[in-house]
């Protein structure tokens, strides 16, 4: 069953907490040579920013189904000074009266691109567990978190992110991953980080938008993986280590990686989670 409301553990323009940060060291072992990079489930962009800081210059084509998140990336790339100014204003307002300001901001629907991006980032820094979750109507509905002095505006990290996005001439799109990957060609490096396959039948799929990401979507993604393989793209994918994942990608190189489960808010459920790292190329 798809989730009733989509959610992802969003940390825009920062390293992801928990498992995502741990997973970077595992993924780094499998990075092939490349000059053009695709990441169609962008989320917090952990691997992209890792590559931008540790690899020679490359061209980046980044995308996500969440249009609001994509707007934030585009704003960081093209208008970071105005974004920083808006975030500083949110930080001052929040520190004066946190609860009132949080729920007032959550209920707003700003029109400008900069204000939309600032709202997304400010809510991410102050909401419960850093989640991005919307209901069936696409309305953000995460309650306020408990933070003494959240860093709503981190000027240095935003400026560094803007530099990386411009350095790699990053093109950031909102849309379905299949549409973006039509442009991938031989020798391109593609990283797929979809909403994970649930560990049990009672667990929900985690999605980036109100539509969620179902079992059928996982099968369709595996079909896309094979199409990219036939085009001789270098494809790397991470997902939960389940029977379904192993069945879908059993013909490719698969290895488990032990990480914390970042989507959980309970520390005792963040340990012992195994992801499967899958690639279609030799190193």
Q: Is the pLDDT of residue 80 over 70?
A: yes
Q: Is residue 72 part of a domain?
A: no
What is the per-residue pLDDT across 5-21, written as a single tens digit (0 to 9) for each? 344 333 445 533 334 66
Query: Do 131 and 175 share a domain, yes or no?
Result: no
Output the domain CATH number for residue 147: 1.10.1020.10
Query: Do 255 and 180 share a domain, yes or no?
Result: yes
Q: Is residue 4 part of a domain?
A: no
Query: Do 145 and 162 share a domain, yes or no?
Result: no
Output the domain CATH number for residue 18: 3.40.50.150
What is the per-residue pLDDT across 180-221, written as a single tens digit (0 to 9) for each? 999 999 999 999 999 877 665 444 434 445 556 788 999 999
At which of 119, 136, 155 does a domain end?
A: 155
Query: Do 163 and 261 share a domain, yes or no?
Result: yes
Sequence-separated (6 or more) residues with CB below 8 Å from residue 137: 210
pLDDT band at 243 (very low <50, low <70, confident <90, very high): very high
Q: How many domains does the chain have?
A: 2
> For residues 126 and 144, is the Cβ–Cβ distance under 8 A?
yes
Query: Do 222 and 111 share a domain, yes or no?
Result: no
User: What's the pLDDT score for residue 198?
Assistant: 64
Q: Is residue 208 part of a domain?
A: no
Q: What letters, b where the CB count within 10 A reaches 16 and e where it falls short, cover 216-253?
A: ebbeebbebbeebbebebbbbbbbbbbeebeebbeebe
Domain that residue 166 falls in: 11-65+158-203+213-279
The token pair at 112 is 């400008």
Q: Is residue 168 part of a domain?
A: yes
């Amino acid at each position: 069953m798809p989730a009733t409301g989509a959610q992802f553990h969003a940390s825009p323009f920062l390293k992801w907490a928990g498992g995502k940060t741990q997973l970077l060291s595992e993924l780094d072992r499998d990075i092939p040579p490349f000059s053009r990079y695709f990441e169609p489930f962008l989320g917090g962009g952990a691997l992209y920013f890792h590559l931008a800081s540790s690899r020679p210059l490359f061209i980046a084509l980044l995308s996500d189904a969440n249009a609001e998140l994509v707007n934030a990336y585009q704003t960081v790339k093209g208008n970071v000074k105005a974004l920083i100014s808006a975030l500083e204003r949110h930080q001052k307002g929040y520190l004066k009266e946190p609860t009132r300001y949080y729920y007032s901001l959550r209920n707003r629907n700003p029109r400008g691109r900069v204000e939309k991006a600032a709202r997304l980032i400010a809510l991410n820094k102050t909401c419960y567990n850093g989640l991005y979750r919307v209901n069936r109507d696409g309305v953000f509905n995460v309650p306020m978190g408990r933070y003494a002095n959240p860093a709503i505006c981190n000027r240095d990290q935003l400026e560094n992110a803007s530099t990386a996005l411009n350095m790699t001439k990053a093109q950031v799109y909102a849309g379905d991953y299949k549409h973006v990957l039509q442009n991938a060609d031989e020798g391109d490096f593609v990283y797929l980080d979809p909403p994970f396959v649930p560990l049990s039948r009672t667990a929900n799929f985690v999605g980036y938008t109100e539509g969620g990401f179902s079992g059928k979507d996982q099968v369709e993604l595996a079909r896309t993986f094979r199409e990219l393989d036939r085009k001789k793209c270098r494809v790397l994918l991470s997902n939960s280590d389940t029977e379904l994942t192993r069945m879908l990608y059993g013909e490719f190189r698969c290895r488990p990686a032990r990480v914390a489960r970042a989507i959980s808010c309970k520390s005792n459920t963040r340990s012992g989670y195994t992801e499967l790292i899958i690639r279609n190329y030799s190193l």
